[in-house]
Structure 1
Amino acid sequence: MTSDDIAVLANPSAGRGRHRDLLTGVLQRLSATGRPVRLLEAHSGSEAETACHAAVAGGAAAVVAVGGDGTVHRALQAVAGRPVGFGVVPAGTGNDFAAGVGMPAGALEAADLVAGALAEGRHTAIDLARAGWSDGAVRWFGAVLAGGFDALVNERANLMRRPRGPRRYDLAILLELARLKPRKYELELDGEDHSFEGMLVAVGNCASYGGGMRILPDADPADGLLDVVVAAPFGRAALARLKPRLRRGTHVTDPRVTVFRARHVRLRCDGIVAYADGERLGPLDLELTCVPGAVRLLR
């Protein structure tokens, strides 16, 4: 890897394989910059992160993630806080980070924009969220961290072996609805205590998660702040009515929903495993910090 190379991390199964044939076109557009393009080899999430770290350490001019939010999440661990360009080509089931930072929805159009930014030497400074645990471990995320009902559904679905496909997620929702109950959250925002009892909490750098659900509709990934949404206790029927409003972002007008903004967030709740960018992070006992301009987005 040289300082001129473009390192490409691609997930061939992203979008359930719908975009696999687009990869050739994406690589061709990136090659139009005149720089060598290297497709990183990775067969797992950990291998993807290792390959991205190696590319950055080797002096790559840019790392480009071709896939969904999971692919972006892996690449962010290597580029966060580093003087390297970062390109995003949305080609996944969920492309919430790409949408949040203003990338075109089309993969080839996004690749053209990334190539143009590289050719002209331009980039846009974008914030990231840094999650830290008491043992010193750190993870970065670009879109939204879920720490409520949706996190419980994700965790249950990941532990289930059957059924396969979307039906597993649907079953996980039903099982978690059956045991729905308010939880006590310790929440500190820029040093002020906002602890509450409820069943929904999300912390985000961008507006949406889950493939377009606008959980934090006014989040701005370049304002130096994290948006935080919490919801007071409500029953199963109220939750069912609230969920469709997430797609439009109108849930924030519900009197049981409160939105905050903060630079630093401390969040803790027993029995919850947090998910960010759709990826499993770990137990919800986290220090979350917005790091302004943590990534050089090629746009």
Structure 2
Amino acid sequence: MDTAPRSAVVVNPVKVPDLGELRRIITEALAAAGWPEPMWRETTVEDPGAGQAARAVRDGAEVVFVCGGDGTVMACVSALAGTDVALAVLPAGTGNLLAANLGLGGDLATGIEVALQGGRRRIDVGCVGEQSFAVMAGMGFDAQMLDATSETAKKHVGWLAYVAGAVRHLRDRPMRVRISLDGGPAFTRRPRTVIVGNVGRLQGGMRLLSAAEPDDGLLDVAVLSPRTLRHWLALAWGVLRRREAVARMETFTASTVEIRSNRPQPRQLDGDLIEPGDELRVTVRPRALLLCVPRPANDPDLAHDAGAVSRDADEIRDVTRA
């Protein structure tokens, strides 16, 4: 870039223990790289991030840093999809599904440095009505698990809190659904959950959809149908071992997925609950979202080696501690 890009920070104040410190770290890191001071936008209960991100675009931001949980990131994805404004994820909260799938971990300095280095990648986004998601949508057990997991537990034990939420619903009755892929004939299943993914990793690093690619123009679908605790254990073991065929799990790919249940079911997008419903219709927008990602070591324009992000993140920590 010939000139330093303008940027904005969309932050969920509930997820950040010290807003003043966060602002200082980001502002000083950007200043050290020659970037102008970022615009600052805090989310509210009424607007979890979409409005703030859209305003940042209107105000000329070229990079939007998002610091919050999965709901904040998802709201910003909805606002930035279809634009040339890059999304930079600064992990906060507990889930951070998109950050985990990008390999960014939970480190603020690393997230900043990734954006500063200029690595960019366009990925697909999934759409459910007016909302967009970058990781996955789900109907059934996965949303029940999220609903049963308390914020207090997540703060104290992190992603392991979801395990307790899952245990509460292991023996619930299955759904009865009809699934149609790309407008084809519907088929009937009695699953515990149906997950539609753009990328494959779940909470805790478990890779459910091993073939999912975020920029292939397709959605990956997993239909999970365990009936007993033994079935659940076999399914989990197969996923952990990354077997091609996993007991009690069917996988498909499509660009449009329609799931209809005989009764309303809990639903989620990118780890954030949405209104329960008896239908989940998901479409894909190919390469609609521009993401800040680590630049590859073989990038001819990259003046850093494979350890550059880590070392430069250390420099950011040193600057902001001074």
User: Matches of 2:163 and 2:37 in 1, distance apart?
Assistant: 44
Alpha-carbon distance between aligned partners in 2 of 1:265 and 1:143, rounded to the nearest angstrom: 15
The percent of aligned pairs where both chains have the same amino acid is 28
Q: Which residue does the alignment assign to 2:95?
A: 94
Q: Does 1:52 align with 2:53?
A: yes
1:122-161 equivalences under 5 Å are: 123-132=120-129, 138-157=130-149
- The residue that corresponds to 1:286 in the other structure is 280
Does 2:249 correspond to 1:257?
A: yes
Q: CA deviation at 1:188?
A: 0.8
CA drift of 1:22 comes to 5.7
* Matching residue of 1:111: 112
Residue deviations 1:74-123, cap 9 Å, x none? 21121011221211122332222123235465321221120121xxxx63
Q: CA 1:105 to 1:156, structure 2 compared with 1: closer, same or farther past 3 Å?
A: closer
User: Does the CA-based 8 Å contact 1:5-1:37 persist in structure 2?
Assistant: yes
| Paired position in structure 1 for 2:37 | 36
Q: What is the CA distance between 1:28 and its match in structure 2? A: 2.5
CA distance in 2, matches of 1:185, 1:253: 22
Which amino acid in structure 2 is aligned with residue 26 of structure 1?
Answer: I
C-alpha distance in 2, partners of 1:6/1:252?
42
**In the alignment, is residue 81 of structure 1 matched against residue 74 of structure 2?**
no
Aligned-partner SS, 2:203: coil
Residues 67 and 156 of structure 1, relative CA distance in 2, 3 Å threshold: closer
Of 265-274 and 232-241, deviating more is 232-241
Q: What's the offset of the Cα at 1:215?
A: 2.0
Deviations 1:181-208 (A, max 9, x none): 2211121111222331221211111112
State the one-letter code of the partner of 2:24: T
Q: Identify the range of structure 1 (201-210 vs 88-97) with the bigger mean alpha-carbon deviation.
A: 88-97
Q: 2:257, 2:283 within 8 Å by CA — same for their partners in 1?
A: yes
TM-score, normalisation: structure 1: 0.81
Q: Distance in 2 between matches of 1:129 and 1:11?
A: 23
| Map of 1:208 onto structure 2 | 201
State the 1:227 CA deviation.
Answer: 0.7
The higher radius of gyration belongs to 2
Q: Report if the CA contact (8 A) 1:64-1:89 is conserved.
A: yes
CA distance in 2, matches of 1:209, 1:256: 18
SS in 2 for 1:9: strand
**Aligned match of 1:297:** 291
Give, as a single letter, the amino acid of the residue that structure 1 aligns with 2:29: R
Structure 2 residues without counterparts, runs of 5 or longer:
294-322
C-alpha distance 104-28 of structure 1, shift in aligned 2 (>3 A): farther
**8 Å Cα contact 1:12-1:20 kept in structure 2:** no
